[in-house]
Amino acid sequence: MSANATVVDWTRIRELRDEIGAEDFTEVIEVFLEEAETMVAELAAAPPEALEEALHALKGTALNLGLGELARVCQDGESRAAAGQAATVARPPVLDAYGRARATLLDGIARGLAT
């Protein structure tokens, strides 16, 4: 994942829409957002020993949806947590990246970028 990863990879979003079908796409996005909200809440409250797993789960979801910036920030934190530095992982950048990804995704879908 490059340092200048995009917030939303619209090519990936269109591929996903094509894979699951237009009629199920909206439901998949809604489920993603529900699950991501839960993951973000858990991440915000996670004790240091659970941080690596929480970041890994959110990163996987982000990668599936082409949310590059969020995946990169999660990967950075996950790597530090895996190296025994969980206490140094700042959570606000992850939460901010999620907020940007969510807003960009919803705005882009509303503007037809997923079609």
Residue 7: φ, ψ to 5°: -65, -50
For residue 92, what pLDDT is reported?
Answer: 95
> Tens digit of pLDDT for each residue in 16-32?
999 999 889 989 899 98
Contact 55/94 with Cβ under 8 angstroms? Answer: yes
Q: DSSP string covering 10-63, please?
A: HHHHHHHHHHH-HHHHHHHHHHHHHHHHHHHHHHHH--HHHHHHHHHHHHHHHH
CA gap 57, 94 in Å, rounded: 13
Structure tokens at 66: 């082409």
Is domain 10-110 classified as CATH 1.10.8.50? no
Domain ranges of the chain: 10-110
Q: Evaluate if pTM is beyond 0.75.
A: yes
| pLDDT of amino acid 22 | 87
- Per-residue confidence at 3, pLDDT binned at 50, 70, 90? very low
